[in-house]
Amino acid sequence: MKSFYKIVFTFGFLTTLFSCQNEDSVSLTPDRPYDEVYAEDIAEIEDFLHSHYVTVDAEYNPTFTQIPDGGTQTPIWDMPELDTIHRKKHDITYVIYYLNFREGSGENITRVDSSFVSYKGFAFNKTTTDGVDTYTQTVFDQKQSPIWLSLDEVIAGWSYVMPLFKTGTYIEMSDGSITFNDFGAGVMFLPSGLAYFSSGTLSIPSYAPLVFSFKLHNLRRRDHDQDGILSMYEYGNPLDEDRFKKDAIDTDGDGRPDYIDVDDDADGVLTKVEISFTYDDGGVTKTKYYPYHGALVDDPATPYDDTYGIPRKYTGPLNSSNRPTPLPIDFTDVNRLRRHLDNTAKPPFE
């Protein structure tokens, strides 16, 4: 059941951001109810946002500081960069607060892509002595040099917030190093139900909200089932979810979502075969795959029409062999049912 959710151990240390919630496991001590913990977490997060201000350096590294008595600093709560999203999970509509320092100028990442990120995560704790609140911040993980993380394998909060941001640009310097510019940068304030919940570690307390600052340097599109269609086109974008895998698109209803199904319409023909076509290249027959969407402009250097995406079952007139012949719209209509998802469309295709 859990094979798709990878848990990564390295000599006994859990790579922090990877999801370690196993909802199928049996625990000797029952977990606390999600709604009860969420009520505490969101109150603590909102208290933190009211009682702290934040400064960022030129590289968008934030520093959070408690507003002193009588201080005039703007609390995070009142900053225009503070925004919220709502995501349903555990039968709770979670409010997620995040700071959008910079959205990024490049490509949007999706929940099934791989992210190249740097980040810093900390937990906070409040103690009150003689009516005076004192906050401590405990950094439990940080990566100053970016690392690759697949967004379907990390804690839920990350997979919800990162797609709100974009990559930037990068240039390779003469010494081989890479400089990133205009990347997305922000901070997320996660209730524990969207992070590690009951499974704390030595450095991460159980049932504690966590704060992550992050920078999205780059991304890599993924094709989980290697059927020639990027996962970003196959999983859908469910916002109302209890489990990612359960709510992803499953065209043939066999319990295996399209992004991990090699025959999406269960017609016995592999998706990869259904989206392929052959063309003549100087007397040599070559095979290629229609891209999900066609290219915006045809490349005259290729012997085929690059503006063609994956076609639907042809609707054109019958030819002399009484078979339908395709129309351009069969390849380009934005609302078409692409033929790898149509179990009445089977090869041989004209």
Q: Where do contacts with Ca ion occur on this chain (CB under 5 A)? A: 223, 225, 227, 229, 250, 252, 254, 256, 258, 261, 263-265, 267, 269, 271
Distance CA 207, CA 150 (A): 24
**Cβ(213)–Cβ(203) below 8 Å:** no
If the CB atoms of residues 30 and 348 are measured against Ca ion, the closer one turns out to be: 348
Shortest Cβ distance from residue 261 to Ca ion (Å)? 4
CB count in 10 Å sphere of residue 253: 7
If the CB atoms of residues 215 and 256 are measured against Ca ion, the closer one turns out to be: 256
If the CB atoms of residues 53 and 290 are measured against Ca ion, the closer one turns out to be: 290
If the CB atoms of residues 56 and 273 are measured against Ca ion, the closer one turns out to be: 273
CA proximity to 313, closest of 277, 350, 264: 350
Cβ contacts of 181 within 8 Å, gap of 6 or more: 168, 169, 170, 171
Shortest Cβ distance from residue 33 to Ca ion (Å)? 33
In the bound state, the residue with its beta carbon closest to Ca ion is: 261
Shortest Cβ distance from residue 339 to Ca ion (Å)? 9
If the CB atoms of residues 18 and 289 are measured against Ca ion, the closer one turns out to be: 289
**Cβ(216)–Cβ(167) below 8 Å:** yes
If the CB atoms of residues 77 and 292 are measured against Ca ion, the closer one turns out to be: 292
If the CB atoms of residues 199 and 231 are measured against Ca ion, the closer one turns out to be: 231
